[in-house]
Structure 1
Amino acid sequence: MQKVNKRKNTLLEKVFKLSQNNTNVKTEILAGITTFITVAYVLLVIPNILKFGGMNAAGVKGDAAGILTIANDPVVASAFAGTCLASALGTFIMALYANLPFALAPGIGLTAFFAYSVCIRMGYTWQQGLAAVLISGLLFILITLTSIREKIVESLPENLKLAITGGIGLFVALIGLKSGHIVVANPGTLVSFGDFRDPHTILTLIGIIIISILMARKVKGSMLIGILATTAIGIPMGITKISNINLFSMPTIGKTFLAYDFKGLLSHGGSGVLGAITSILMVIITLSLVDLFDTIGTLVGTAQKSDMIQSDGKIRNMKKALFSDAIGTSIASGLGTTTLATVVESTAGIAEGGRTGLTTMVVGILFLVSMFFSGLVGIVPAEATSPALVIVGVLMMSAVVKIDFDDFTEAVPAFFTIAFMPFSYSIANGIAAGLIFYPIMKIATGRRKEVHPIMYIMAFLFILRFILIPD
């Protein structure tokens, strides 16, 4: 009894309520390390996408920026440091305010939209784009304070929530299979198997086998052990690169810090104030809708697979989680990176038993430390983290057995929610498909009273979004 009391009086217990959430310090730390290792690739991917949008010393856009790297371009290096710092700060807010095991980092899909659509196709500079990101972040803070985002989550029917879980599972698995070279592009069939003689494919398969066996045998820390073991196996195979590593580097964010250009944003294209405002609204609405439903999808999907659903059916600390995400996005824009999103890779740590903000705190600390070790972050190859994502997909797909496929008005939107996430490579698109088809099916069968009024609004907004701003 004394040991229990001692545990309950520790600082970590008081802050993160570990015993109340049926977890402990060791499990939370292990889960945090697992999440970080799984999501660390984002720290290198994000600045490399941003440079294509002109966030580089030369200011060039497109393929001409491809040769610029963190090592040889001060603006790209600043974007890397900003990405690390923004991810750390956003994640700390999630940990301490919401006490949930969800990490925050710039969304890859949103960053690609920022670079290729906003900066290259629409012609904005990255400084003007960051100003738009700040506006979307402030908008998120406003609608979160008014509980609009929370009400959107609560309006989703149970079958769609389950479908979101299964869809994210497929989406995460596809990311793992693609980055592990098991599924590759094919001009004739869209996708196909990779080359199973390729060392990269072989290493990914080895990792999947290792983690699968460890999970089946219920070994604690299966994901982390599998990732580290696969990384080690990759050394003699020539995939894990450990030579010529610059372990320590002093970060700087001076080139991208508070680099807003509101004046240029409002006068973009010389089409007058009205034309500029219309264009800006299109950008902000897209950033807002995609981030809103990426975050909602991740929260709803992972909560279904853990102990974060309360007795009233609501997700624990949902409003605080959404508020953390909104504040994080506003901070990120000032540091020179794009919209923060609740990363789907958080599911890897949750699968390892992460249940509280302590998991997230560990991730945030590692994000912060990564600023000084850009070379070390890149040691773990994609072939080592990909297997973890595939196994997470296996775990999340179990939710689909609870979906009522006997009711066709529920089955159709649930199916499209699940299918469109991997097929369109977007969590938000999958949710949009479900939200659009759900009221259609209910109205057509005389069951419109089963549809929450908010769902009609969301369906209408998504239809407008796809018409006015196609991907």
Structure 2
Amino acid sequence: MNERKDDLLERLFALKAHGTTVRTEILAGVTTYLTMAYIIFVNPAILSQAGMDFGAVFVATCLAAAAGSLIMGLYANYPVALAPGMGLNAYFAYTVVPQFGGDWRLALGCVFASGVLFLALSLSPLREWLVNAIPRSLKYGIGAGIGFFLAMIGLQNAGIVIDHPATLVTLGDVGATSALLAMAGFVALVALYYRRVPGAIMLIILGVTLAAVLLGLQPLEGIADMPPSLAPTFLQFDIRGAFETGFVTIVFVFLLVDLLDTTGTLVSAG
């Protein structure tokens, strides 16, 4: 039975040709999930500030990430996980929705239209031409910029950096328990990574999370529960209304940022 499973996995993913094993891929998959799991909570937290239902966005985020990652792995056979972008959601919540008078349904109409255009562009030779036309330095720069953005989110959640009315960002209370735990986790991660310990990122994420629960920084409200309903946001976009209120410019911005974001991330990660 095990030999049959190994043959199936080899035919699907060509593991030997890529110099990897089933164990390595499972460990990498779990590590990738734990590394990107913050999106499950940060994305609905941002979009809920635009008036969207937190639970519905939470479920939609999980489903979108699962579907995209499965297609990338099973169809494209490329070891990259996909999830909702963490730059466009801020633009959506803090710029587009206020521009539409707080009506997130109009903003979703723009997102839907840009998604259709992005899909059409991806299925045409034009997408490849555009990707090849972007300088390699810019592609790497986009990836680095996204990394700094995510690092800033982590530093802010840990309380290491905080808002400041004059300089926008300033040093927080680095003596706080949350900040000390985050810094200790980072130092331990660098040490384990330097020692080439397998699954270093996964071990540190699990260790810091457990420590946060034991220290009372993160309340443990349970392990499993029924998912919230998608009904409050499912198909609740208003394309017709968006057409009447500055539609073209916003759709173009969504499309352009999405194109550069995905291209830079894919090139730098791959």
Pairwise same-fold verdict (TM > 0.5): yes
Give the aligned partner of residue 289 of structure 1: 256
* Distance in 1, Cα, partners of 2:124 & 2:159: 44
* Distance in 1, Cα, partners of 2:103 & 2:145: 35
Q: Deviations over 1:262-302 (max 9, x none)?
A: 33333x4xxxxxxx4xx101110111111111111111111
Which residue of 82, 105, 122 corresponds with 2:100? Answer: 122
2:257 partner letter: V
Which residue of 110, 116, 131 corresponds with 1:138? Answer: 116
Give the aligned partner of residue 31 of structure 1: 28
- Unpaired runs of 5+ residues, structure 1, are 57-75, 269-275, 304-471
Note if 1:204 corresponds to 2:182: yes
Paired residues of 2:64 and 2:83 also in contact (CA < 8 A): yes
Q: Name the % identity.
A: 41
Note if 1:221 corresponds to 2:188: no
Give the aligned partner of residue 44 of structure 2: 47
* Correspondence 1:22-421 to 2 at 5 A: 22-56=19-53, 76-123=54-101, 125-242=103-220, 244-245=221-222, 247-266=224-243, 268=244, 276=245, 279-303=246-270
1:47 partner letter: P
* Distance in 2, Cα, partners of 1:296 & 1:90: 15
SS at match of 1:192: strand
Q: In the TM superposition, what is the alpha-carbon distance from 1:110 to its structure 2 partner?
A: 1.1
* Distance in 2, Cα, partners of 1:127 & 1:281: 16
CA spacing shift, 1:149–1:180, aligned 2, 3 Å: farther
Q: In the TM superposition, what is the alpha-carbon distance from 1:167 to its structure 2 partner?
A: 4.4
TM score, norm. by length of structure 2: 0.88
Q: Deviations over 1:66-122 (max 9, x none)?
A: xxxxxxxxxx32222222112211221112222222222222321122222222223
CA spacing shift, 1:181–1:119, aligned 2, 3 Å: same
* Distance in 2, Cα, partners of 1:265 & 1:191: 35
Q: Deviations over 1:289-323 (max 9, x none)?
A: 111111111111112xxxxxxxxxxxxxxxxxxxx
* Distance in 2, Cα, partners of 1:168 & 1:251: 30
Q: Max radius of gyration: which structure?
A: 1
Paired residues of 2:142 and 2:260 also in contact (CA < 8 A): no
CA spacing shift, 1:258–1:160, aligned 2, 3 Å: closer
* Distance in 1, Cα, partners of 2:59 & 2:254: 22
RMSD: 2.5
SS at match of 1:98: coil
Q: Which has the higher contact order (CA 8 A, sep 6+)?
A: 1
* Distance in 1, Cα, partners of 2:182 & 2:174: 10
TM score, norm. by length of structure 1: 0.53
